[in-house]
Amino acid sequence: MIAPMNLLKVWAVVLVWGAAQLASGGSITGTIRLPGGRPAAGMRVAAMAVPGVGRSTTDSSEYVRITQTDTNGRYQLEDIPPGRYFIVAGPVSAPTFHPGKLEQTGASIVTVSKTGPALTGIDFGLEADIGNFAYGFAPGLAAAGIGGCCRFSAQLVTEDGSRFPDVPMKAGNLRGSLNAVFEGSKGVLSFAVSVPIGSTAQFDVVGLPPGYFLKSVELGGRDVGLGPVVIDGKSLATLVLTAGYLPVSTLQKVTARGKVVNIAREVRVTSVSFTSTNPTGPTLVSELRPDGTFEFPSIPIGVYRPSLFSNLLVIPDSNLTIDLHNNPFPESDPQSVFTGGKKTTITGVVTEKLTFSGHGYFRMNVKNESTGAVTPWAIYVAADWLVPKIVVGDTLSVPGTLSTDGTNRLSADEF
């Protein structure tokens, strides 16, 4: 049996050992000076993870810990995970790397380990005086005791990774301005937002398409919910907003009317279908009237991808006009109309030069030698390198595949 005194000693050892395991992060301290040797008070300083191949050295998602210098220019970065880091100071857009270089190629690398000592004396100076906003925050925030600015590399994604509808949206901090610009497509929209350290932020998206809602907010890999969160500068500066889908059964149903205009004479359009961008949403078909109009008498509000027309349509909308711009291949997948078609060669006179955007087409008049009748044809071109220079008035013999819907359309082979 362990004596009481010995038992206390055992518990003391356990507690010390446990504390050592919890304090697994390292620390880095140093001093930042301005040109001329003056202390850089209130300067933003960060530990930036050494990026891997293909990753930008100025990507804010690399910032693992952020702090600011005191009135003497001293800084202290705490609880840094083991790894290799650059120490940077100044604005996100133009950081200065230890030991005082503006380019990453001249930067030194510091290594933080679980068992290694605290790193001290990581001092360096700036090569140029970068002004009041070099510290990453406005003077008014400094007076309020709020630290440097934390710039988040952020993304808006759908819960299943599907492509986001191309509709105007804004994202950012509801307690500041919502002016973030989205870039990208196919399920991931990127933007950036800056929030002062020590402030409270609440992230949201304005203008989410009908049928979508903000489902979760992850900050530094941790789900922080949809409410306000304090920006402590310790979390990884990454922000992911995930949008979910509302159940289609809960969406209001409305009547949608519209018109298809500028239909090419080579195309036979008898109906139009709308497919919801919501994975659980419907695909609806409406017959096209002789005047080109259509109607969906009961369709859930949402964003839809028409079978004809590359742009998305938002319902409800008072003007659902689908302009085909006289394009003889308006299908979302033009090559599908030639699958299983017969091979042939047609000869005719070029009446329209090659129009190319993603895929291309040109037109020819084909004369029936036995009857003398002239029929206009549209020639699909998957890539411009497949065909020679198309000159109006030239006579060409074009090999290819006939469309399967009986229209005068041909997918050209290389010639």
369 belongs to a structural domain: yes
100 belongs to a structural domain: yes
Structural domain including 276 reads 250-323
What is the domain-level CATH number for residue 303?
2.60.40
Number of domains in the chain: 4
Is 131 found in the same domain as 34?
A: yes
Q: Is the pLDDT of residue 387 over 80?
A: yes
75 belongs to a structural domain: yes
Is 166 found in the same domain as 128?
A: no
β-bridge pairing 74-80 and 26-33: antiparallel
DSSP state of 413: P
Residue 410 to residue 387: CA distance in whole angstroms? 13
Residue 32 to residue 64: CA distance in whole angstroms? 19
- Nearest 5°: CA angle at 345, between 344 and 349? 145
Residue type, 319: N
Is 240 found in the same domain as 159?
A: yes
The pLDDT value given to residue 57: 41
281 belongs to a structural domain: yes
Is 128 found in the same domain as 39?
A: yes
Cβ 403 vs Cβ 338: under 8 Å: yes
Residue 288 to residue 282: CA distance in whole angstroms? 19
84 belongs to a structural domain: yes
pLDDT tens per residue, range 56-108: 444 444 677 888 888 888 999 888 888 888 898 876 656 788 888 877 777 88
Is 123 found in the same domain as 99?
A: yes
3 belongs to a structural domain: no
Q: Is the pLDDT of residue 202 over 90?
A: no
The pLDDT value given to residue 220: 77
Query: N- to C-terminal Cα distance for the chain?
Result: 95
Q: In angstroms, what CA-CA distances link 343 with 72, 363, 398, 410?
A: 81, 18, 11, 9
328 belongs to a structural domain: no
Given pLDDT bands bounded at 50, 70 and 90, which one contains residue 113? confident
The closest of 377, 375, 373 to 409, measured between CA atoms, is 377
pLDDT tens per residue, range 261-294: 999 999 888 999 999 988 889 999 999 999 999 9
10 belongs to a structural domain: no
Cβ 315 vs Cβ 256: under 8 Å: yes
Neighbours of 229 (CB within 10 A): 18
Is 273 found in the same domain as 203?
A: no
The closest of 104, 102, 96 to 33, measured between CA atoms, is 96
Cβ 366 vs Cβ 397: under 8 Å: no
Is 203 found in the same domain as 257?
A: no
Q: Over the chain, what is the mean pLDDT?
A: 78
The pLDDT value given to residue 135: 31
Q: What SS3 state is found at 222?
A: strand
Is 162 found in the same domain as 239?
A: yes
Is 130 found in the same domain as 26?
A: yes
| Sign of the torsion formed by the C-alpha atoms of 249, 252, 257 and 260 | negative
